[in-house]
A and B are shown apart, each in its own frame.
Chain A
Amino acid sequence: QSVLTQPPSAFGTPGQRVTISCSGSSSNIGSNPVYWYQQVPGTAPKLLIYRNNQRPSGVPDRFSGSKSGTSASLAISGLRSEDEADYYCAAWDDGLSAWVFGGGTKLTVL
């Protein structure tokens, strides 16, 4: 059971906008920034969003992050087939003194 809760799956069609949620608590998302990672099957994860809504250089602006209270969301607009991947949220948990991940969301582009 992951400390952060994500839906196991999400679906979208090319060009569509999809959002993936991440729910936590006051000891993690409620008090620390959220990070998002993309993992294409068979490859290492890659940082997608850091500090709630910042994109590393090279990440398209189709990807955006937001946070409100103890929840966060990743939005992907203009969905493309290459966005098909697993997406993970993460944050520092003050109570556990540990970095915690969500269980991951498998995004399928129909």
Chain B
Amino acid sequence: EVQLVESGGGLVQPGRSLKVSCTASGFTFGDYPMGWVRQAPGKGLEWVGFIRSNGYGGTTDYAASVKGRFTISRDDSKSIAYLQMNSLQTDDTAVYYCTRGGSGWDVVLYWGQGTLVTVSP
């Protein structure tokens, strides 16, 4: 069974940084793309970005709203995906979900339970 468990969320001041993690189990981590989707309170889903498997170059794509501020990385030896968030703004406040993809167009198939990041003075 695919399991994705996020950790590292919390309260952070505007302008500061935060790194959240996603620990995966139940599948061969290195074979799949991993990503992040966020949901601001009372709002819809917003894709943040993803990282392809190393077999596909380990390249990344990001939403325009976070490009240049957020970085997604992966440690296949530990089955962990990371989301490094810099220069955080109040409108980055959201539940951040870790996601796993599949092959081809299957960017988002599985979801974690989410971790709340609150950006506030």
Q: Mark A68-90, 1 if CB is under 8 A from B, else 0.
A: 00000000000000000010101
Minimum CB–CB distance from A54 to chain B (whole Å) comes to: 10
Residue of A nearest to B47 (CB): A99
Is A37 within 8 A of B45, CB to CB?
yes
Main secondary structure of the interface of A (DSSP, over half): strand
Is B105 within 8 A of A47, CB to CB?
no
B residues 33-68 with Cβ under 8 Å of A? 35, 37, 44-47, 50, 61-64
Q: Mark B107-121, 1 if CB is under 8 A from A, else 0.
A: 111111110000000
**A99 CA / B50 CA spacing, docked (Å):** 9
Please judge, given known A-B contacts A44-B113, A45-B97, A90-B108, whether A96 and B64 are in contact too, CB under 8 Å: yes
Total A-B residue contacts, Cβ distance less than 8 Å = 58
Is B63 within 8 A of A44, CB to CB?
no
Interface membership of B76, Cβ < 8 A: no
Residues of chain A with a CB closer than 8 A to B75's CB: none
Is A98 within 8 A of B113, CB to CB?
no
Please judge, given known A-B contacts A2-B44, A44-B114, A104-B44, whether A97 and B61 are in contact too, CB under 8 Å: yes
Is B109 within 8 A of A47, CB to CB?
yes
**A40 CA / B111 CA spacing, docked (Å):** 13
Minimum CB–CB distance from A84 to chain B (whole Å) comes to: 17
Minimum-distance CB pairs A-B, first 6: A99-B47, A104-B44, A44-B111, A101-B45, A99-B107, A103-B44
